[in-house]
């Protein structure tokens, strides 16, 4: 069993770097604060006897040798960058749980057959530079190193420059690092475990997602003198589509999700009928066939609404990730460890993207979820219970041991 206090203390120590007044953390990727965080984590790794490799996109691999170092390492990891209004646990927990696993193995003098590695991936959050999950994405070949290097923040600084500046542009070619199996512990970022009063979420898969921009074009006109029947009110047409996004999600339970999170109204004046309304649509499902049906339904509904109202509506898919089922061996290892340790458990499909979905493209992968307070993340009030973090880390330890062999 891992040392719960030590894990908690490390989490709180790392959370000091970029700590916000409201108790959160703001440590954007590739900033000076990110460098401080990286330096702290790698210093802990060195203290624990790990050797460190850095690849060209700044992914960091911290290695504990096994008995047979020709075997690919059993890896765990996550990210230590945060959202602008981030918390102490999102990502950081997955990295420090890995460090705690190593410390525990050291305490007990346990030697694994395969090597053990702890990784942190560059720019998972995507809030300073897009695309999100950049380090793991380059690693698995989802996009090129050049594409990632060229990404700019709002001030025009590039990923390539910033990696160099903070001293984390390594030598290793991304992806040329073997992985025997990959595990990631993470706070759930949703309310399911808390709602069901369970401690460990076994994650069979991550939902696929489809993102759209939808623009309704009407005609700006004065709210007073324009009779109702002569209006081309873009807001009213948008309001027909918004409930359908939820209706579509509800037609594909239990994993259908539909959200309109963003809206811009032009000219956005109280006595002007809106001439244009632009909004986002986020559709998710764990089954790609169902996600595709949802995709077709929203397109058809938008077409029909345009025909019914006579207003042009543009809908454009701006992102698509297929669902990512995790590997039976890894999911099985997590389930077995959970049962062995006697934690209350349920399967929780991940609704959010994680580095693990890119890792899963190059190695067997799996995830372990623990509850977070009110399901809240990407928020300074993000919180998690010490005993839940301990439980997730114990499950990680046993799942990794099972895959690595003792």
Ligand X SMILES: NC(=O)NCCC(=O)O
> Residues 264, 265, 270, CA angle at the centre, nearest 5°?
140
Binding pattern to ligand X, positions 165-194, x when CB under 6 A?
A: ------------------------x-----
With contacts defined by CB under 6 A, how many residues of the chain interact with ligand X? 7
Angle between helices 288-309 and 234-251 (to 10 degrees): 150
For residue 343, the Cα-to-chain-centroid distance in whole angstroms is 24
CA distance 97 to 78: 10
Take residue 26 and report the two structure tokens written for it.
């703001």
Residue 227 makes contact with ligand X by CB under 6 A: no
Cβ proximity to a second copy: between 16 and 22 the closer is 22
- Judged by CB under 6 A, the residue of 27, 354, 388, 403 near ligand X is 354
The conformation of residue 25, written as its DSSP 8-state character, comes to B
- Which one, of 270, 273, 267, 265, lies nearest residue 226 by Cα? 273
Judged by CB under 8 A, the chain residues 172 through 211 that form the site for a second copy are 188-192, 195, 207, 209, 211
State the nearest-atom distance from the C-beta of 66 to ligand X, in Å.
30
Alpha carbon distance 290, 299 (integer Å): 14
Residue 145 C-beta-side C-alpha neighbours within 13 Å? 16
Q: How many CA atoms lie within 13 A of 359 on its CB side?
A: 32
378 annotated to a ligand binding site: yes
* Residue 341 interaction partner, one of a second copy, ligand X, none, beta carbon < 5-8 Å per kind: none
Contact between 132 and ligand X per CB under 6 A: yes
Tokens 């006579």 appear where? 310
- Find out whether 388 is annotated in a ligand binding site: no
Q: Among residue numbers 6 through 35, which ones bind a second copy (CB under 8 A)?
A: none
> What count of Cα atoms within 13 Å lies in the side-chain half-sphere of residue 121?
29
Give whichever of 78 and 104 is closer to ligand X, judged by the CB atom: 78
Q: Of 99-107, 300-308, 359-367, 368-376, which segment contacts a second copy by CB under 8 A? A: 368-376
- DSSP-based helix, strand, coil % in the chain, nearest 5: 40, 20, 40
The answer to the question of whether 229 is labelled as a binding residue is: no
Interface with a second copy (CB under 8 A), residue from 269, 312, 320, 406: 269
In this structure, the chain runs to a length of 406
Q: Which of 154, 271, 310, 342 binds ligand X (CB under 6 A)?
A: 271
* Binding-site partner at residue 354 among a second copy, ligand X, none, CB < 5 to 8 Å by type: ligand X
DSSP label of 255? T
CB of 131 or CB of 178, closer to ligand X: 131
The answer to the question of whether 79 is labelled as a binding residue is yes
Residue 404 phi/psi, 5-degree rounding, is -80, -30
DSSP tag of 204: -
Residue 315 touches a second copy, criterion: CB under 8 A? no
Among 40, 352, 362, 376, binds ligand X (CB under 6 A): 352
- Contact partner at residue 242 from a second copy, ligand X, none, CB < 5 to 8 Å by partner kind: a second copy
Pick from 169, 174, 126: nearest CA to 151:
126
Beta-carbon neighbour count of residue 249 at 10 Å? 19
Strand ranges (E), 132-219: 181-187, 200-203, 205-206, 208-217
Q: Does position 335 bind ligand X by CB under 6 A?
A: no
Residue 347's DSSP bridge partners are 202
Q: Which stretch binds ligand X (CB under 6 A): 5-13, 47-55, 103-111, 350-358?
A: 350-358
Binding of residue 81 to a second copy (CB under 8 A):
no
CA–CA distance, 212 with 224 (Å, rounded to integer): 33
Q: Which is nearer to a second copy, 17 or 209 (CB)?
A: 209
Is 125 among the annotated ligand-binding positions? yes
User: Binds 141, which of a second copy, ligand X, none (CB < 5 to 8 A, cut-off by type)?
Assistant: none
Stated as kind and residue range, the H or E segment containing 280 is: strand 276-285
| Binding region | 79, 90, 125, 186, 378
List of residues contacting a second copy (CB under 8 A): 188-192, 195, 207, 209, 211, 219-228, 230, 233, 235-236, 239-240, 242-243, 246, 249-250, 253-254, 256-263, 265, 268-274, 280, 282, 284, 350-353, 374-379
Residues that bind ligand X (CB under 6 A): 132, 189, 224, 271, 352-354
List the binding residues for Zn(2+). Answer: 79, 90, 125, 186, 378
């Amino acid at each position: 069993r891992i040392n719960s206090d030590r894990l908690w203390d490390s989490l709180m120590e790392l959370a000091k770097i970029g700590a916000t007044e409201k108790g959160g953390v703001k440590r954007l990727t590739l900033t000076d604060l990110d460098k401080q965080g990286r330096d702290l984590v790698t210093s802990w790794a060195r203290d624990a006897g790990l050797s460190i490799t850095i690849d060209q996109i700044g992914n960091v691999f911290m290695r504990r040798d096994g008995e047979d170092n020709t075997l690919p390492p059993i890896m765990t990891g996550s990210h230590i960058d945060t959202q602008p209004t981030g918390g102490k646990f999102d990502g950081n927990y997955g990295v420090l749980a890995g460090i705690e696993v190593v410390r525990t193995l050291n305490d007990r003098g346990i030697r694994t057959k395969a090597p053990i590695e702890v990784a942190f991936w560059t720019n998972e959050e995507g809030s300073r530079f897009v695309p999100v999950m950049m380090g793991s994405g380059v690693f698995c070949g989802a996009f090129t190193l050049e594409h990632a290097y060229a990404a700019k923040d709002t001030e025009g600084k590039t990923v390539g420059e910033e990696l160099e500046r903070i001293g984390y542009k390594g030598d290793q070619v991304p992806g040329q690092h073997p992985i025997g199996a990959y595990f990631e512990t993470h706070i759930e970022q949703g309310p399911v475990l808390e709602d069901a009063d369970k401690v460990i979420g076994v994650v069979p898969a991550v939902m696929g997602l489809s993102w759209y921009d939808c623009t309704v074009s009407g005609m700006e006109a004065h709210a007073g003198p324009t009779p109702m029947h002569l209006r081309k009110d873009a807001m009213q047409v948008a309001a027909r589509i918004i409930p359908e996004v939820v209706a579509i999600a509800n037609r594909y339970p239990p994993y259908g999700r539909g959200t309109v999170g963003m809206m811009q109204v032009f000219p956005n004046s109280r006595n002007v009928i809106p001439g244009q309304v632009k909004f986002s649509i986020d559709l998710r499902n764990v089954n790609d066939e169902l996600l595709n049906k949802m995709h077709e339904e929203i397109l058809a509904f938008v077409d029909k609404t345009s025909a019914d109202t006579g207003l042009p509506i543009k809908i454009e898919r701006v992102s698509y990730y297929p669902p990512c089922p995790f590997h039976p061996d890894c999911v099985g290892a997590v389930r077995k460890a959970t049962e062995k340790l006697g934690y209350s458990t349920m399967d929780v499909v991940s609704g959010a993207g994680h580095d693990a979905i890119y890792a899963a493209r190059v190695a067997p992968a799996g995830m372990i979820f623990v509850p977070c307070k009110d399901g809240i993340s990407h928020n300074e009030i993000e919180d998690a219970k010490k005993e839940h973090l301990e439980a997730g880390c114990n499950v990680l330890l046993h799942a990794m041991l099972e895959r690595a062999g003792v």
